[in-house]
Amino acid sequence: MIRRLMLAAVVAALPLVVIAADARRDAILADYAAKARAVDPGATAFSAQRGETLFRTKWTGGDPRTASCTACHTADPRAPGQNAKTGRPIEPVAVSVNPKRFTDPATVEKQFTRDCKNVLGRECTPLEKGDYITFMAGQ
Amino acid sequence: MSVRPLTPTFTLLAAVLLLLACPAYAGDDWMPPVRDATVQKECGTCHMTFQPGFLPARSWSRMMGSLSDHFGEDVTLMNDKIEIIRAYLTANAGDVVNQGRAAKYMHWVAPGGTPQRITENPDFLRKHRFPESVWKDPKVVTKSNCLACHSSAERGVFK
């Protein structure tokens, strides 16, 4: 009985958790938007399409083992991936299957810092980060 | 018919089976796993959370001081995180634990040496003499991917 009540409480709280996660992601996006405007006052709104292009482009400036995001995340953001250097499994990046994604600003920034350097061979711009998250939020 | 003559044999057999079933208590294939949440998150996101018992404390200290070139990768962390991880790894390092498998690894570490690659320790090499084809298996990726073959490696069991 207690177990059933607890289950009911957890199910009832689920939408709250999802909303809270969205608010945190929105705050991260708002922060990148502000930074993008600081670089270029005429910066456009984030684009899922540009985010997808960023995700699928094969770059030449980074580590050849990770020439594109898909090297670890696979061509399907909803699928689990695998670290191309260590073999470590990676949880899906798509928010629909992994709602925890892009909810902790420190983790998001740390991962962009590392991955952009490895994949693109340079830092990502705030606009690129926002595009990427916008693409993944719709996946 | 009496079962009595079988009893000592059975007891011995049971003991052996029990030891085989519980490598944690058998000793040599056991390496105390990482139990610190920060270490699990910060180290374990990108690779297996290697047990600190595989390297001496001075190796871990050197590693935590060179995160901008961590096996060719810049994995810089905030200083507070670095210190939490350094403290855990050095407190549980091979030369501190110094028993079981950790002692076997430490046997090969030169006095004052600060090795960084667990996979270069002779105790590792001795147990991993495989043809190149095994290492080229797509699920292996790299020698440091213990979990490709040792599914319980992260819990400290290297069967």
Cβ separation A86–B140 shorter than 8 A: no
Q: Which domain holds residue A7?
A: 2-137
Is-contact B29 B159, C-beta < 8 A? yes
> Residue A12's pLDDT is what?
60
Q: Helical H runs in A40-103?
A: 48-56, 70-73
Q: How close, in Å, is residue B97 to chain A by CA atoms? A: 26
For residue A88, the chain B residue with the least C-alpha distance is B47
Q: How far apart are CA A49 and CA A135, in angstroms?
A: 7
Please tell me the predicted confidence (pLDDT) of residue B22: 45
- Which chain B residue is nearest to residue A109, measuring alpha carbons? B77
Do the beta carbons of residue B31 and residue B54 sit within 8 Å?
A: yes
Smallest Cβ–Cβ distance between B142 and the set A87, A114, A117 belongs to A87
Q: Does the beta carbon of B138 lie under 8 angstroms from any beta carbon of chain A?
A: no
pLDDT in tens, A85-112: 999 999 999 999 999 999 999 999 999 9
CA-to-CA separations, A12 to A4, A6, A16, B9, B47, in angstroms, rounded: 12, 10, 8, 58, 36
C-alpha of A19 from chain center: 17
Question: Average pLDDT of chain A?
Answer: 90
Angstroms from B159 CA to nearest CA on chain A = 19
Number of domains in chain A: 1
Residue A53 maps to which CATH number?
Answer: 1.10.760.10
Q: What is the pLDDT of residues B82-138, one digit of tens each?
A: 999 999 999 999 999 999 999 999 999 999 999 999 999 999 999 999 999 999 998
Q: What count of other Cβ atoms lies within 10 Å of the Cβ of residue B102?
A: 24
Interface predicted TM-score (ipTM) of this complex, two decimals: 0.79
Find the closest chain A residue to B154 by CA distance: A88
